[in-house]
Amino acid sequence: MTSFKLGAAVLRCAVASAFLASAMSTSVFAAPPVDLSKWSPDYVKSVAGTKDFDTAADCSKVTPLDYKGRVTLWYQGVFEGDPDILRQNYKDFFAAFRATYPNITLEDQGLTYNDLLDKFRTALLGNAAPMVARLQILGGTEFAAKGYLQPLKPEDVGYSTDDFWPGAMKAVTWQGVTYGVPTNNETMAFIWNADIFKRAGLDPEKAPATWDEVVKDSKIIHDKLGVSGYGLVARKNAGNTPYRFMPQLWAYGGGVFDEATANPTYKEVELDSPQSKAALQASYDMYVRDKSVPVSALTNQQADNQPLFLAGQLGMMISHPSDYLVMQDLLKKTTGTDTQKAQTVIDNMRYGLIPTGPDGKRAVVFGGSNIHILKPEYVDGGKVDMPAAKALICFWTSPEWSLKLAWVGSNPGNLNGFLTKWMKTRLETTKFLDVTTSMLPYGIPFPALPQSPEIMNIIVPDMLQNALTGAMTVDEAAADAAKKVKDLMGGGGL
Amino acid sequence: MTIVTGQAEMSRGAVPVRTGVLRKIWVHRADYAYVLPAIVVMLIVIAYPIYYTIDLSFFKTPPGLQLKDKIFVGFDNYAAILTSEVFWKVTLNTLTWTIASTALSFALGFAAALALHRDFLGRGVMRAILIIPWVISAVAASYIWKWIYHSDFGIIGAVLVELHILDRPPNFIDSVNTVLPSLIVVNIWREFPFAMIMMMAGLQTVPDQLLRAAKVDGANAWQRFWHVTFPHLSNVSTVTILLLAVANFNSFIIPWIMTGGGPANASHIWITHIYELAFGRQRWGVAAAYSVLLFIILMTLGYFYVRALSGNERKERGA
């Protein structure tokens, strides 16, 4: 018996040692490439340009560069609200991939954020999906839960899980299995027009500290200058709406569930909590009581707010650093006296942290996109060329391209992107980028549930519209939305 | 001709003796052979989707499951629809949309047809101009109208404010009270040329000699219209109204692009709601049940349409 126990112990020890050695040599215990605990604009600047990467060499370890194959891709790409530089970067990416893998035929199709999910779902029903799909962060869990996606983790394409934001990895994980790799992660910032603030008697260099102040300042701006104060967005079926309302909801201490906590369980619906109602009330006060936001907020998306802001008709809004470049692109299209007016607005653009709630809580949507490989049975033609698909994903999620494809609108999904020389260039050339990167630690991912797209794109905007149009009171709208979420989670409701 | 052929074949005793329906089918076998390819295509592209939609309407399709894993729920989807407040709101919107769009498009189109039926200088140009809304892409038209109506910097609002008629731009599509009438105006603008063309064609069939005889008999313009022209147009009017009604029940582009059914579902009509349920919320089963209900209504309209056409044929034969 004793000798058996001793033998077993030796065996266990040997196995454990071998496992540890193996694990240490792989990326399982690899440290994140950046120290997330030190995250600040200064830290981001200090690490930029400290490491070189060779994308082709890295990806050749995943798929040889002379590999011959074919891959089809649908991706959530640039849209009308993006600046021209991002369009160019996408063109450069596809050219670089084709040059690096000349024998892989890449058939790519770019779709806008609001169109992609509908088209992708429909294609899946007809087994006509692409081999690879780059989806908004909201979509991954739904398709993983339905069994459409192949397990795929960063290690499968040459990287480590630690190379990516932990919050982003949650969004590609369903029931403990990883189904994709984050391509980019974004947090937005608060933008205001200092000239409008000055003329309204507000401190032009200071953003409202709290959401209550946003409501107050929006009214002051509207009452004094006759222009809209805050760029509220409440359109249904548009990603812009949850990206702007959820930070407000979380800041007031509310939520759809407990997604704003460190370890969410998504069990209790909190849309009708007093805190959630307070956030909805703030929007109601701006839209109905004060009439200090655009009337068109119910049909607008952020792309509609941009020209309003450039025309000096809007005082504040939430958006990406890319909006500064979008304004410059729009400026080129102005003529006559409009050009000077637009230039004044651009000169007076200011970026700051998104305001806090009454208790000092600051939040922003931890957004972005992920890239996935579909199971062959759902793909047009019934086959997936795995080496070609992995080559594409390795290329896209590389430090170089995850950074370049996020250039002004977002941040690299691969944290190594922050170390590259291109990050340094980006910081030097993209005004206000440091503000949005500073918001990253405040980022809260959408609930990692298959029901999230409906909750965020339909139920939450519906709640806003019901309250803002007077179809329901704030209390009724919150209760109605909470009931819809409960019904949805229970598998019922219309 | 086929009957003769059949009789000839029967008399030769080349075929087994058949009676009743089977005999008729055998006699008309060549006719059936001619239409068979069309029937096969229709079975594939129409009958199967209808069968599949009806079948799907008895299943629940939760967001976390694939369609193939659907759960049988019997008539629950129909019950859920018929007991839902949203359904009745959307139904009211659909009826308002269909009746108002159809009636006003027809009235406006008929008036335009009467005006253009007269001979005047520039009639051809006017006719061409009035047809433009019908030939323009519905998608493009919807985007243009969206900007015309825009609540903050729309053209209508800007003009009204500039002329000091209003202090601030009117709210067309961001209000639950005005959104549906605003969309109906766009729909009428787009549809009335169709009614105009149909009625212009109908007006050309009104016998001139009857109108002249009525004039000789002392009938005034209104009496000539009411007692001569209008009766001659009853069939074309019925067909036009039915076609407009079916098209309006099936409308999608204008409300979806301009408002997406909002705000607060105030401009959702059946088709946009079905689309949202299916593609936005993946309630395929509920959307299918909705579609079945819509199918029944449209088939009823289709029945009247066919009857109207048959009535025309009978009259023509009688004439």
Asked whether residue A200 falls in the same domain as residue A341, the answer is yes
- Is residue A258 in a domain? yes
Asked whether residue A407 falls in the same domain as residue A301, the answer is no
Asked if A312 and A341 count as a contact pair (C-beta separation under 8 A), the reply is yes
Domain with A298 in it: 189-364+451-489
B277 interfacial to chain A (CB closer than 8 Å): yes
Most confident of the ranges A11-15, A164-168, B179-183, B262-266: B179-183
Q: What is the pLDDT of residue B75?
A: 94
How much is the average pLDDT of B133-150?
93
Q: What is the pLDDT of residue A79?
A: 74
Q: Do A470 and B176 touch (CB under 8 A)?
A: yes
Task: Of B231, B227, B242, B229, give the one whose Cα is nearest residue B309.
Answer: B242
Task: Of A219, A244, A230, give the one whose Cα is nearest residue A315.
Answer: A230
Query: What's the gap in Å between the CA of A414 and the closest CA on chain B?
Result: 29
Query: What's the gap in Å between the CA of B247 and the closest CA on chain A?
Result: 24
Q: Do B174 and A118 touch (CB under 8 A)?
A: no
Asked whether residue A430 falls in the same domain as residue A332, the answer is no
B65, B86, B263 ranked by CB distance to A146: nearest: B65
A403-to-A229, A400, A414 alpha-carbon distances in Å: 33, 5, 8
Q: Which residue has the tokens 């209104």?
A: B222
How much is the average pLDDT of B141-158?
92
Q: What is the pLDDT of residue A69?
A: 97
Residue B210 host element (H or E): helix B208-216
Contacts of A305 in chain B (CB under 8 A): none
A299, A457, A494 ranked by CB distance to B84: nearest: A494
* Res B82 pLDDT > 80: yes
Query: What's the gap in Å between the CA of B267 and the closest CA on chain A?
Result: 12
* Res A385 pLDDT > 90: yes
How much is the average pLDDT of A124-143?
91
Q: Do B282 and A454 touch (CB under 8 A)?
A: yes
Q: What is the pLDDT of residue A117?
A: 85
Q: How confident is the model at residue B312 (pLDDT cuts 50, 70, 90)?
A: low
Q: Do A118 and B176 touch (CB under 8 A)?
A: no
Higher pLDDT, B210 or A65: A65
Helix, strand, or coil (residue B220): coil
Contacts of B286 in chain A (CB under 8 A): 494
Strands across the sheet with A189-193, in order? A228-230, A314-319, A189-193, A349-352
Buried b (16+ CB within 10 A) or exposed e, B155-191: eebeebeeeeeeeebbbbbbbbebbbebbbbbbbbbb
A295, A454, A469 ranked by CB distance to B63: nearest: A454
Best B66, B175, B258 member to test A by mutation, with max A CBs in 10 Å, is B66
* Res B319 pLDDT > 60: no
Higher pLDDT, A114 or A481: A481
Instruction: Supply the DSSP symbol for B263.
Output: S
CA distance B204 to A486: 61
B52 interfacial to chain A (CB closer than 8 Å): no
In B, minimum Cα distance to A459 occurs at B281
Asked if A350 and A191 count as a contact pair (C-beta separation under 8 A), the reply is yes
Domains of chain B: 2-43 (no CATH), 76-318 (1.10.3720.10)
Q: Do B64 and A142 touch (CB under 8 A)?
A: yes
CA distance A177 to A170: 10
Q: What is the pLDDT of residue B316?
A: 61
Q: How confident is the model at residue B19 (pLDDT cuts 50, 70, 90)?
A: low
DSSP B127-190: HHHHHHHHHS-HHHHHHHHHHHH-TTT-HHHHHHHHTTS-SS---SSSSTTTHHHHHHHHHHHH
Q: Do B264 and A145 touch (CB under 8 A)?
A: no
CA distance A232 to A314: 10
How much is the average pLDDT of A108-118?
85
In A, minimum Cα distance to B169 occurs at A295
Task: Of A225, A131, A257, A184, give the one whose Cα is nearest residue A405.
Answer: A184
User: What pTM was computed for the model?
Assistant: 0.82
Asked whether residue A198 falls in the same domain as residue A308, the answer is yes
- Is residue A327 in a domain? yes
In B, minimum Cα distance to A491 occurs at B62
Q: What is the pLDDT of residue A289?
A: 96
Best A142, A143, A146, A288 member to test B by mutation, with max B CBs in 10 Å, is A146
Q: How confident is the model at residue A100 (pLDDT cuts 50, 70, 90)?
A: very high
Asked whether residue A371 falls in the same domain as residue A351, the answer is no
Query: What's the gap in Å between the CA of A234 and the closest CA on chain B?
Result: 9
Query: What's the gap in Å between the CA of B158 and the closest CA on chain A?
Result: 14
A146, A466, A488 ranked by CB distance to B66: nearest: A146
Contacts of B145 in chain A (CB under 8 A): none
A235, A237, A296 ranked by CB distance to B280: nearest: A237
Quick one: what percent of chain B has pLDDT higher than 90? 56
| Average pLDDT of every residue of chain B | 87
- Is residue A19 in a domain? no
Asked whether residue A405 falls in the same domain as residue A464, the answer is no
| Average pLDDT of every residue of chain A | 88
How much is the average pLDDT of A365-379?
94
Q: What is the pLDDT of residue A410?
A: 79
3-state SS of chain A is: CHHHHHHHHHHHHHHHHHHHHHHHHCCCCCCCCCCHHHCCHHHHHHHCCCCCCCHHHHHHCCCCCCCCEEEEEEEECCCCCCCHHHHHHHHHHHHHHHHHCCCEEEEEEEECHHHHHHHHHHHHHCCCECCEEEEECCCHHHHHHCCCECCECHHHHCCCHHHECHHHHHHCEECCEEECEEEEEECCEEEEEHHHHHHCCCCCCCCCCEHHHHHHHHHHHHHHHCCEEECCCCCCCCCHHHHHHHHHHHHCCCCCCCCCCCCCCCCCCCCCCHHHHHHHHHHHHHHHHCCCCCHHHHCCCHHHHHHHHHCCCEEEEEECCHHHHHHHHHHHCCCCHHHHHHHHHHHCEEEECCCECCCCCECEECEEEEEEEECHHHECCCCCCHHHHHHHHHHHCCHHHHHHCCCCCCEECEHHHHHCHHHHHHHHHCCCHHHHHHHHHHEECCCCCCCHHHHHHHHHHHHHHHHHCCCCCHHHHHHHHHHHHHHHHCCCCC
When mean pLDDT is compared across A63-67, A412-416, B165-169, the lowest value belongs to B165-169
Give chain A's contact residues with B (Cβ, < 8 Å): 118, 121-122, 125, 142, 145-148, 228, 234-237, 294-299, 308, 311, 313, 450-451, 453-454, 457-458, 461-462, 465-466, 468-472, 488, 491-494
Residues in contact with B205: Cβ distance below 8 Å, sequence separation at least 6, in sequence order:
B232, B236
- Is residue A6 in a domain? no
Number of structural domains (chain A) is: 2
Asked whether residue A200 falls in the same domain as residue A83, the answer is no
Contacts of B263 in chain A (CB under 8 A): 234, 298-299, 465, 468-469, 471
A453, A462, A491 ranked by CB distance to B60: nearest: A491
Helix, strand, or coil (residue B87): helix
- Is residue A174 in a domain? yes
Asked whether residue A409 falls in the same domain as residue A332, the answer is no
When mean pLDDT is compared across A136-145, B84-93, B171-180, the lowest value belongs to A136-145
Q: How confident is the model at residue A317 (pLDDT cuts 50, 70, 90)?
A: very high
pLDDT, tens digit, 9 for 90 and up, residues B30-71: 998 999 999 899 888 888 999 999 999 999 988 778 888 889
Higher pLDDT, A431 or B294: B294
In A, minimum Cα distance to B67 occurs at A125
- Is residue A24 in a domain? no
Quick one: what percent of chain A has pLDDT higher than 70? 93
Contacts of A125 in chain B (CB under 8 A): 67
A236, A468, A472 ranked by CB distance to B260: nearest: A236
Q: What is the pLDDT of residue B318?
A: 59
How much is the average pLDDT of A206-232?
96
Residues in contact with A186: Cβ distance below 8 Å, sequence separation at least 6, in sequence order:
A320, A366, A367, A368, A406, A409, A410, A411, A436
Q: How confident is the model at residue A30 (pLDDT cuts 50, 70, 90)?
A: low
Higher pLDDT, B54 or B19: B54
Q: What is the pLDDT of residue A154?
A: 97
Q: What is the pLDDT of residue B6?
A: 43
How much is the average pLDDT of A436-463?
89
CA distance B276 to A494: 11
B87, B264, B282 ranked by CB distance to A465: nearest: B264
Q: Do B87 and A494 touch (CB under 8 A)?
A: yes
How much is the average pLDDT of B234-244?
90
Contacts of A118 in chain B (CB under 8 A): 279-280
Q: Do A298 and B152 touch (CB under 8 A)?
A: no
Asked whether residue A163 falls in the same domain as residue A204, the answer is no
Contacts of A458 in chain B (CB under 8 A): 276, 280-281
A142, A295, A465 ranked by CB distance to B151: nearest: A295
- Is residue A293 in a domain? yes
Q: Is A493 left (phi over 0), alpha (psi -120 to 50) or beta?
A: left
Asked if A132 and A389 count as a contact pair (C-beta separation under 8 A), the reply is yes
Contacts of B53 in chain A (CB under 8 A): none
Q: Do B64 and A451 touch (CB under 8 A)?
A: yes
Asked whether residue A292 falls in the same domain as residue A177, the answer is no
CA distance A119 to A320: 26
Could you give the dihedral angle defined by the CA atoms of residues B69, B70, B73 and B74, in that order, rounded to the nearest 10 degrees?
-110
A142, A466, A469 ranked by CB distance to B175: nearest: A469
* Res A8 pLDDT > 50: no
Q: What is the pLDDT of residue B7?
A: 46
B263 interfacial to chain A (CB closer than 8 Å): yes
* Res A101 pLDDT > 80: yes
Q: What is the pLDDT of residue B20?
A: 81
When mean pLDDT is compared across A402-411, A473-482, B78-87, B138-147, the lowest value belongs to A402-411
- Is residue A214 in a domain? yes
Asked whether residue A327 falls in the same domain as residue A470, the answer is yes
CA distance B151 to B255: 16
Quick one: what percent of chain B has pLDDT higher than 70? 91
Asked if B268 and B276 count as a contact pair (C-beta separation under 8 A), the reply is yes
How much is the average pLDDT of A1-22?
41
Asked whether residue A285 falls in the same domain as residue A396, the answer is no
Angle, in degrees to the nearest 10, between helices A474-489 and A274-284: 130
Q: Do B80 and A492 touch (CB under 8 A)?
A: yes
Task: Check which CATH number belongs to the domain holding A459 and give it.
Answer: 3.40.190.10
Q: Do A494 and B260 touch (CB under 8 A)?
A: no
Q: What is the pLDDT of residue A329?
A: 83
| AA letter at A408 | V
**Which B residues in the span 145-164 are in contact with A, Cβ-Cβ below 8 Å?**
146, 150-153
B64 interfacial to chain A (CB closer than 8 Å): yes
Best A141, A304, A488, A494 member to test B by mutation, with max B CBs in 10 Å, is A494
Higher pLDDT, B31 or A20: B31
